[in-house]
Amino acid sequence: MGKQMTEMLKGTLEGIVLALLAVRPAYGYEITARLREQGFADIVEGTVYALLVRIERRGLVDVEKVPSEKGPPRKVYSLNTPGREYLEDFWGSWGFLADRLEQLRREADRAQEEGT
Amino acid sequence: MGKQMTEMLKGTLEGIVLALLAVRPAYGYEITARLREQGFADIVEGTVYALLVRIERRGLVDVEKVPSEKGPPRKVYSLNTPGREYLEDFWGSWGFLADRLEQLRREADRAQEEGT
DNA sequence: ACTGGTAGCTAGCAACACCAAGTACTAGCA
DNA sequence: TGCTAGTACTTGGTGTTGCTAGCTACCAGT
């Protein structure tokens, strides 16, 4: 979707994945697939795996290795209590930002109409 | 507001500044002050100035040097046609992201309630 | 033996916001 | 005159992040 999206995802992709895990536990390959389905077409596996390593190292998720019938074992991630708190903070920041931007958009649109 | 906000601002701060300039032309010091008023309390001047240099180099804004009564001359930035197009793209990306996140939030909340 | 799907990992890169310090101009005050 | 404070812009270095582009490993079907 272009460079704008790439930069915008910095910081939000983490929240997106945590939110996915809040719905239900999942493993990397699955998360990547779900993101692609939801329209994040060009998110690459490597990005997701690196992110998962990060949030695991920070103690936001619990990990369980589960054998798969069709390949190597899966690493299933599930949100734990610190992760849930962190996700709450994320929604707080996101809400603030979304509010500001919505307001700004209205102002910019109004200025646009007046200028026309 | 914490590290989450810092990372989230990557990519969106640029859009925010462009949107501010869409409302009306402004100079760096003024933009910083306006951002602070609007709740982005810990955005530092250095960040804004670097961003302005960037969007100028990309040709998204026109610049005019205007003398000030109380200090060095101001560099007044105004959005030009490429800048307006770029801002439109930004709103497109932002809208997509905001939609996804809103949907995700609903799903995550619902899962939360069912789990309780 | 080979291809393709599943599943995970990693080294190097570019972009961005932050930090910290600096320059320069003006006004006011001792 | 010297000092502070407000205005206004600049710059070098840092840490985090997503992307690129590869790699390993396991299994099923041809």
- Strand arrangement, sheet containing A26-27: A26-27, A71-79, A61-68
Residue B3 has what pLDDT?
86
**Burial of A32 per CB tally in 10 Å (0-12, 13-18, 19+):** buried
Sequence length of chain A is 116
**CATH code, A19:** 1.10.10.10
Largest pairwise CA distance in chain B: 63
Highest mean pLDDT among A74-83, A107-116, B107-116: A74-83
Q: Give the one of B8, B15, B89 whose C-beta lies nearest to A11's C-beta.
A: B8
Q: Would you state the pLDDT for residue B112? A: 77
What's the pLDDT tens digit per position in A28-75?
999 999 999 999 988 999 999 999 999 999 999 999 999 998 889 999
Q: B55: domain range?
A: 3-115
The residue assigned the tokens 């490597």 is: A46
Per cent of chain A over pLDDT 70 is 97
Considering chain A, what is the average pLDDT of its residues? Answer: 94
Q: pLDDT of B11-47, one tens digit each?
A: 999 999 999 999 999 999 999 999 999 999 889 999 9
B90 contacts on A by Cβ (under 8 Å): 4
Provide the whole-model pTM: 0.94
What do you get for the CA distance between the two ends of chain B, in Å?
30
Find, in chain A, the residue whose alpha carbon is nearest to that of B6.
A11
Q: Around Cβ B113, how many Cβ atoms within 10 Å?
A: 7
pLDDT of residue A116: 65
Q: How far does Cα A102 stand from its chain's mean position?
A: 21
Cβ neighbours for A82, distance < 8 A, ≥ 6 positions apart: A59, A60
Query: For chain A, what is the domain count?
Result: 1
A88 vs B: CB within 8 A: no
Compute the distance between CA of residue B105 and CA of residue A98 in angstroms, rounded to an integer.
Answer: 13
Mean pLDDT, residues A78-87: 98
A20 Cα to chain B: minimum distance (Å): 7
List all nucleotides in chain C with at least one atom under 7 A from a protein Cβ: 5-12, 15-21, 24-27
